[in-house]
Amino acid sequence: MAAIITDQIRILNAKNFVAGVATTSNSYYSFIGLPNPSDYQSDWDENPPSPLDNLDEENNYWDTAIALKKINSSDIRLVVPKRFWNSGTTYDMYRHDYSIRNPARSGATTLYSANYFVINSDYRVYICLQNGTTPENPTGLPSLDEPTFVDLEPKAAGTSGDGYIWKYLYTIKPSEISKFESVDFMPVPSNWETSDENAAVRDNAVDGSIKIVTVTNRGVGVGTANRTYTRVPIKGDGDGAECTVTINADQEVDSVIISSQGSGYTYGNIDLNASNIPQGSTNPLFNVIISPQGGHGADIYKELGAKNVLLYSRIENDVENPDFIIGNQIARIGIIRNPKAYDSIQNLSIDKASAVYALKLIGAASSTTEFTPDAIITQEIGTGVTAAGRVVNYDPITGVLKYWQDRTLAGFTTSPGAGIGITNPIYGYNLNKFT
């Protein structure tokens, strides 16, 4: 039996992840770690390995974490591919029925892989409802006019006659650009369903409305030459949609313009007979494009396919934030959910936290002592019992030595990649704690 994980499930998962970060019952953190990657793989810098996904490696991620920073609801956004408008580019148009049997102009077999929305030079986002598709140009025409308007209803962007109809959706705020714009993605506004800031576009949407009809065959001997027929009904499972059909001098359909968008449609057909338009020897063919559920602008995440999430986390070390070390390297960045506060069953809640052990060194020598990053430090904690760890960094001013305990320093283990059992470990079989 064939099966599919639909795009709508991916969008739902992305929305649920964002909501999970925002809820007070969860604590999400970004973390940095693994200061000694070359001990794991000698050419890590030139050829970093792909992350492994198993329970043993998960423990290693925790062991090698250095510091964490809290991710708040203001640090996460749903994002979509970033596509700047460029003159001369032929864009896909929004259609509800792209598939492997009905691909887009670009060859995309799904809506969300099609090139149907753009961001302009003022960071306004538009969806392409018509790309100049005609029977003579079934894949559309190059776009020549940059959309810049913020009107609620779709319209042409300029006077070139390129045939494009654009629908304005939203403007990316400067604060969002600085945090969430990347090379490949751009943010979608948060709380689209409830925010007053998005109300004008959202509340203008009409569920099951029809904005565009394309002509795929003009027909032969249709209607009366050089005549325009108004209030031609669009039949289907909705109500109220009408269009204006213009016949050219050759008794072919020249254009179809929506005059009333109607509502409640999931499919539609133009009924020429109802308007007493004389039939020709060849009937014209049309594509009635159905808006997304709720109408254009009702659910921006579904309309643009927001199935990716971008997190913003600024990692820096300063006087107010000493937990992010300096003087060493990091080779791992990740996200963790609900880490526990030290020696507690409660979720960590502070903004920044250290994830390593530390020793406080006192005495005159503490200000002049040097520790090499990643070097092994040891402490005799009993007769024949040694604690071992690796240096993360040392601050001679505070006398704080940060370290982590590498599981490979003790116990019966295997040399990485060599398959050689170490039966006489240098520091014993237990990973002993420092005192």
Nearest in space to 339 (alpha carbons), one of 136, 43, 58: 58
Nearest in space to 286 (alpha carbons), one of 335, 216, 234: 216
- Residue in the block written with tokens 């969806």: 127
Q: Are residues 87 and 165 in the same domain?
A: yes
Q: Are residues 157 and 243 in the same domain?
A: no
Q: Are residues 22 and 155 in the same domain?
A: no
Give the separation between CA 404 and CA 374, rounded to whole angstroms: 9
CA 2 to chain centroid, in Å, comes to: 27
Query: Contact 96/64 with Cβ under 8 angstroms?
Result: no
| Domain membership of residue 102 as a residue range | 79-207+294-306
2: Cβ–Cβ under 8 A, 6 or more apart, which residues?
none
Give the separation between CA 179 and CA 78, rounded to whole angstroms: 12
Nearest in space to 130 (alpha carbons), one of 204, 234, 207, 214: 214
- Asked if the structure places residue 247 within a domain, the reply is yes
Q: Are residues 89 and 200 in the same domain?
A: yes
Query: Contact 220/252 with Cβ under 8 angstroms?
Result: yes
Q: Are residues 128 and 203 in the same domain?
A: yes
Domain boundary pick from 306, 339, 373: 306
Backbone phi and psi for residue 299, each to the nearest 5 degrees, phi listed first: -130, 95
Q: Are residues 124 and 187 in the same domain?
A: yes
Nearest in space to 228 (alpha carbons), one of 243, 241, 216, 208: 243
Q: Are residues 11 and 69 in the same domain?
A: yes
For residue 2, the model assigns a pLDDT of 78
- Asked if the structure places residue 2 within a domain, the reply is no
Q: Are residues 89 and 133 in the same domain?
A: yes
What are the tens digits of pLDDT across the range 146-179? 999 999 999 999 999 999 999 999 999 999 998 9
- Asked if the structure places residue 428 within a domain, the reply is no
Query: Contact 114/80 with Cβ under 8 angstroms?
Result: no
**Overall pTM > 0.75:** yes
* Sequence-distant contacts of 300-304: CB under 8 A, at least 24 apart: 300/169, 300/170, 300/188, 300/189, 300/192, 300/198, 301/11, 301/14, 301/15, 301/78, 301/188, 301/192, 302/8, 302/11, 303/127, 303/169, 304/80, 304/112, 304/117, 304/127, 304/169, 304/188
What CATH number should be reported for the domain holding residue 340? Answer: 2.60.340.10
Give the separation between CA 432 and CA 413, rounded to whole angstroms: 16
Q: Are residues 163 and 302 in the same domain?
A: yes
Q: In what order do the strands lie in the sheet with 185-187?
A: 185-187, 76-81, 308-311
Q: Are residues 195 and 133 in the same domain?
A: yes
- Asked if the structure places residue 336 within a domain, the reply is yes
What are the tens digits of pLDDT across the range 263-313? 999 999 999 999 999 999 999 999 999 999 999 999 999 999 999 999 999
- Classified as helix, coil or strand, 357 is strand
Q: Are residues 106 and 191 in the same domain?
A: yes
For residue 294, the model assigns a pLDDT of 96
412: Cβ–Cβ under 8 A, 6 or more apart, which residues?
421, 422, 423, 425, 429
What's the domain count of the chain?
A: 4
- Classified as helix, coil or strand, 21 is helix
Backbone phi and psi for residue 371, each to the nearest 5 degrees, phi listed first: -125, 130
3-state helix, strand, coil in the chain (%, to 5): 15, 30, 55
Give the separation between CA 65 and CA 103, rounded to whole angstroms: 46
Show the tokens assigned to 407: 């599981």
For residue 94, the model assigns a pLDDT of 98
- Asked if the structure places residue 199 within a domain, the reply is yes
Q: Distance between terminal CA atoms of the chain? A: 61
Nearest in space to 138 (alpha carbons), one of 95, 199, 174: 95
- Asked if the structure places residue 268 within a domain, the reply is yes
Q: Are residues 94 and 183 in the same domain?
A: yes
- Asked if the structure places residue 158 within a domain, the reply is yes
Q: In what order do the strands lie in the sheet with 352-354?
A: 332-337, 28-33, 65-71, 352-354
- Classified as helix, coil or strand, 335 is strand
Tens digits of pLDDT across the chain (435 residues):
778 889 999 999 999 999 999 888 999 999 999 998 988 888 988 999 998 898 888 988 998 999 999 999 999 999 999 999 999 999 999 999 999 999 999 999 999 999 999 999 999 999 999 999 999 999 999 999 999 999 999 999 999 999 999 999 999 999 999 899 899 999 999 999 999 999 999 999 999 999 999 999 999 999 999 999 999 999 999 999 999 999 999 999 999 999 999 999 999 999 999 999 999 999 999 999 999 999 999 999 999 999 999 999 988 776 666 677 878 888 999 999 999 998 899 999 999 999 999 999 999 888 899 999 999 999 999 988 999 999 999 989 889 999 999 887 876 555 554 445 566 778 888 889 998
- Asked if the structure places residue 427 within a domain, the reply is no
